[in-house]
Amino acid sequence: MENHAQARFHRRMVTLVVFLVIFAGVVCVRYAVLGLEGPEKTGLSENTPIERGRILDRNGKVLAFDIPKFNLAIRKNEIDPYRITEDLSIVARSLNINADVLERKIRESGQNFVYLAKRLDVDTVKPLQEKLDKGQLAGFVLEEVNGRIYPEGRLASHLLGFTGEGNKGLEGIEYKYNAELSGTQGDKARGDDIYLTIDARLQYALEQITRKAIRDNKAESLFMMAMDVNSGEVLAYVQMPDFDPNNFGSFREAEREDRMSVYSYEPGSVFKIFSMASILDAGLITPKTKFNCDGAYRRTLPSGEKIVIKDLHSYGVLDLAGILAKSSNAGAGYASDRISENEFYSRLLNFGFAEKTGIGSPGENPGSLREPAKWSARTKPTVAIGQEIRVTALQMITAASAVANGGILLKPDTVMRIEDADGKALYSHETVAVRRAISPETSRAIMTAMESAASLEGTGWRAKVPDVRMAVKTGTAQMIDLKTKAYSDTDYIASTLGVLPADNPTIAIYVAIVKPMGESYLGGQIAAPVLRDAAESAIDILGLPRGKSQNTTHGGLVTIQEPAPASIGSKMPDLTGFSKRQLLPLLLRGDLDVTLDGDGYVVAQSPPPGTAVQGGTRIILRLQ
Q: Give mean pLDDT, residues 117-143.
A: 89
- Using alpha carbons, list the distances in angstroms from residue 518 to 214, 216, 253: 10, 7, 26
Residue 160 confidence (pLDDT): 97
Q: Where are the beta strands (DSSP E) in 122-208?
A: 140-149, 162-163, 169-171, 193-196
* CATH class of the domain whose range is 55-191: alpha beta
Q: Tell whether the model's pLDDT for residue 580 goes beyond 80.
A: no
Q: How confident is the model at residue 482 (pLDDT cuts 50, 70, 90)?
A: confident
Residue 21 confidence (pLDDT): 52
Q: Tell whether the model's pLDDT for residue 5 goes beyond 80.
A: no
Given the DSSP bridges, would you call strands 415-419 and 62-75 parallel, antiparallel or unpaired?
Answer: unpaired
- 22-32 tens-digit pLDDT: 544 544 444 44
Distance CA 499, CA 399 (A): 12
Give the residue with greater pLDDT, 360 vs 322.
Answer: 322
CATH topology of domain 562-624: Trypsin Inhibitor V; Chain A (3.30.10)
| Residues 272-298: b if buried by 16+ CB within 10 A, e if exposed | bbbbbbbbbbbebbebebbbebebebe
Residue 557 confidence (pLDDT): 32
Residue 65 confidence (pLDDT): 94
Residue 561 confidence (pLDDT): 40
Q: Give mean pLDDT, residues 333-353.
A: 98
Q: Tell whether the model's pLDDT for residue 239 goes beyond 70.
A: yes
Q: Tell whether the model's pLDDT for residue 579 goes beyond 50.
A: yes
Evaluated on CA atoms 352, 356, 361, 364, the torsion sign reads: positive
Give me the residue spans of the domains in the chain: 55-191, 220-542, 562-624
Residue 1 confidence (pLDDT): 52
**Identity at 509, one-letter amino acid code:** I
Q: Give mean pLDDT, residues 347-364.
A: 92
Q: Give mean pLDDT, residues 177-194.
A: 85
- 527-562 tens-digit pLDDT: 999 999 999 999 999 999 887 533 333 333 333 344
Q: Tell whether the model's pLDDT for residue 498 goes beyond 70.
A: yes
Q: Cβ of 116: how many Cβ atoms within 10 Å?
A: 21
Residue 559 confidence (pLDDT): 31
Q: Tell whether the model's pLDDT for residue 620 goes beyond 80.
A: yes
Q: Give mean pLDDT, residues 319-342.
A: 97
- Using alpha carbons, list the distances in angstroms from residue 472 to 12, 20, 179, 380: 72, 73, 41, 24
Q: Give mean pLDDT, residues 203-232.
A: 96
Q: Give mean pLDDT, residues 264-287.
A: 97
- Using alpha carbons, list the distances in angstroms from residue 401 to 68, 235, 273, 290, 398: 42, 13, 12, 27, 5
Give the residue with greater pLDDT, 198 vs 564.
Answer: 198
Is residue 473 within 8 A of residue 273, CB to CB? The reply is: yes
Give the residue with greater pLDDT, 48 vs 435.
Answer: 435
Q: How confident is the model at residue 13 (pLDDT cuts 50, 70, 90)?
A: low
Q: Tell whether the model's pLDDT for residue 42 goes beyond 60.
A: no
- Compute the mean pLDDT over every residue in the chain, rounded to the nearest whole number: 87
* CATH class of the domain whose range is 220-542: alpha beta
Is residue 287 within 8 A of residue 449, CB to CB? The reply is: yes
- 53-93 tens-digit pLDDT: 999 999 999 999 998 888 899 998 999 888 988 989 988 89
Distance CA 512, CA 521 (A): 11
Q: How confident is the model at residue 621 (pLDDT cuts 50, 70, 90)?
A: confident
Total residues belonging to the chain: 624
Q: Tell whether the model's pLDDT for residue 612 goes beyond 50.
A: yes
Q: For the purposes of burial, counting CB atoms within 10 Å of the CB of 70, is it exposed (0-12), middle (13-18) or buried (19 or more)?
A: buried
Evaluated on CA atoms 582, 585, 591, 592, the torsion sign reads: positive
- 372-405 tens-digit pLDDT: 999 999 999 999 999 999 999 999 999 999 999 9
Residue 368 confidence (pLDDT): 97
Q: How confident is the model at residue 144 (pLDDT cuts 50, 70, 90)?
A: confident
- The DSSP secondary structure of 562-587, one letter per residue, reads PPPPP---SB----TT-BHHHHGGGG
- 429-458 tens-digit pLDDT: 988 999 999 999 999 999 999 999 999 889
Beta-ladder partners of 473: 497
Q: Tell whether the model's pLDDT for residue 489 goes beyond 50.
A: yes
Given the DSSP bridges, would you call strands 507-514 and 471-480 parallel, antiparallel or unpaired?
Answer: unpaired
Hey, is 59 helix, strand or coil? coil
**Identity at 473, one-letter amino acid code:** K
Q: Give mean pLDDT, residues 285-305.
A: 95
Q: Give mean pLDDT, residues 607-616.
A: 88
Distance CA 5, CA 100 (A): 11
Evaluated on CA atoms 202, 204, 205, 211, the torsion sign reads: positive
Name the pTM for this structure.
0.76
